[in-house]
Amino acid sequence: MMRAVWCSGMDGCTSMTDTLDPPHKPQSLMQRLKMVLHGQDGHPLVPSENIAGRALVVVIAIMTFLAALTTGAAQLLASASQDWQGAVATELTIQVRPVQGRNIDQDVARAAAIAGTFKGISKVRPYSKRESEALLEPWLGTGLGLDDLPVPRLIVLQSDAPAHVDIEGLKKALGESLRNASLDDHRVWTARLQSMARSVIGIAIGLVVLVLIATGLAVGFATRGAISGNRNTMEVLHFVGATDAFIAREFQRHFLLLGLQGGFLGGMAALLFFLIAQFFAEQWIGSVGSEQMSVLFGSFILEKSGYAGIFLTALLVALLTALVSRLTVAHTLRSLT
């Protein structure tokens, strides 16, 4: 409380009581710089809400959605490929070709008996002539007379321990007893499945990398735009003592928040897409194309690894956004120096 006195030559002096605020404590340079950079003085260095920022969030969300979609699709195909390989690896097929002068039914019975004596073979199922002909209908159509064609007969062997089956011994035993019988262990088919799965995963990784590169370029251009719009302010701050790391950290913080927003929106959109696709896949069960879809994509249900992949993709996009902005600002500040 201080007493103030007002004096006039005609009226004399008049006193009044007024409360005067004590003087503010001087702010340090770093405190003042933080106020400017954080916008506490009404003019933030990097505006948190503007058209460019919202547009960048949309771009990041779209890129994240595409990357997460690719990650989830790769996981579905990899899971389906494992199911295919598991189903093929537990089966062996004996093919008995019809030969003139031989009874093919006896040859089939003899081949089945030989296979049943080997360790690891849990089930032997010979296909009848009608069942063997039915396997050709998807390619040849129905209603055709196949009696005059030498349609081979198949014997499907189920194995509960594929590693313990003596495949070479079985091939030798069939070759010695039946010259018109051959064994297919599906190794070629399994190798092709493995190669296809690796190719799909490789393509998915390549697509994700391309999306990340495109995201980094977009963030780099956005950062340069923010720097260009505030170049004079940055020069002044840099001149009065603000360090490069201090200014770059503020840009990194701003773009990290934008990256987190865009990554969250894109990741949630990808999760919603897979949930909707799973719902329609369940409704589609029993239709004509459901079997083909189940063969290609399995049950169309993401596993935990798929959800984790989508989450990590969104987080990676956010971190990449912050890193690119920091590197871009650091490069610009070095040019100012």
Are 243 and 315 in a shared domain?
yes
Are 159 and 49 in a shared domain?
no
Region 181-203: mean pLDDT is: 81
Are 160 and 281 in a shared domain?
no
- Residues of the chain above pLDDT 70, percent: 74
Predicted TM-score (pTM) of this structure: 0.65
Please tell me the predicted confidence (pLDDT) of residue 264: 93
DSSP H stretches of helix in the chain: 29-38, 51-89, 104-116, 129-134, 137-140, 167-177, 187-229, 231-239, 244-283, 290-297, 304-336
In a domain, 74, yes or no: yes
Is the pLDDT score of 10 beyond 70? no
Residue 149 pLDDT class (50, 70, 90 cuts): confident
Residue 294 pLDDT class (50, 70, 90 cuts): low
Are 116 and 66 in a shared domain?
no
Are 141 and 251 in a shared domain?
no
Please tell me the predicted confidence (pLDDT) of residue 206: 92
Is the pLDDT score of 31 beyond 80? no
CA 280/CA 176 separation, integer angstroms: 53
Are 142 and 276 in a shared domain?
no
Are 230 and 320 in a shared domain?
yes
CB 326 within 8 A of CB 252: yes
Look at residues 142, 160, 179 and tell me which one is the last residue of a structural domain. Answer: 179
CB 238 within 8 A of CB 247: yes
Are 106 and 246 in a shared domain?
no
CB 67 within 8 A of CB 212: yes
In a domain, 9, yes or no: no
State pLDDT tens for residues 79-95: 777 777 766 777 888 88
CA 196/CA 194 separation, integer angstroms: 5
- The listed range with the strongest mean pLDDT (65-74, 94-103, 146-155, 280-289) is 65-74
CA 201/CA 94 separation, integer angstroms: 33
Region 213-229: mean pLDDT is: 85
Are 54 and 198 in a shared domain?
yes
Looking at the DSSP assignment, which residues form a beta bridge with residue 3? 17
Are 214 and 289 in a shared domain?
yes
In a domain, 266, yes or no: yes
Q: Which of 268, 271, 261, 248 is nearest to 324 (CA)?
A: 248
Checking DSSP bridges between strand 121-126 and strand 12-18, what pairing results, if any? unpaired
Look at residues 154, 179, 204 and tell me which one is the last residue of a structural domain. Answer: 179
In a domain, 5, yes or no: no
In a domain, 226, yes or no: yes
Q: Which residues span the domain enclosing 131?
A: 98-179
Region 134-148: mean pLDDT is: 69
Our count of domains for the chain comes to: 2
Region 53-75: mean pLDDT is: 88
Q: Residue 93 phi/psi, 5° resolution? A: -130, 130
CA 267/CA 307 separation, integer angstroms: 10
Residue 181: partners with Cβ closer than 8 Å, 6 or more residues away: 94, 95, 96, 97, 107, 111, 174, 175
Is the pLDDT score of 22 beyond 50? no
Looking at the DSSP assignment, which residues form a beta bridge with residue 15? 5
Are 172 and 316 in a shared domain?
no
Average pLDDT, the chain: 76
Residue 61 pLDDT class (50, 70, 90 cuts): very high
- Residues of the chain above pLDDT 90, percent: 9
Are 102 and 244 in a shared domain?
no
Please tell me the predicted confidence (pLDDT) of residue 62: 93
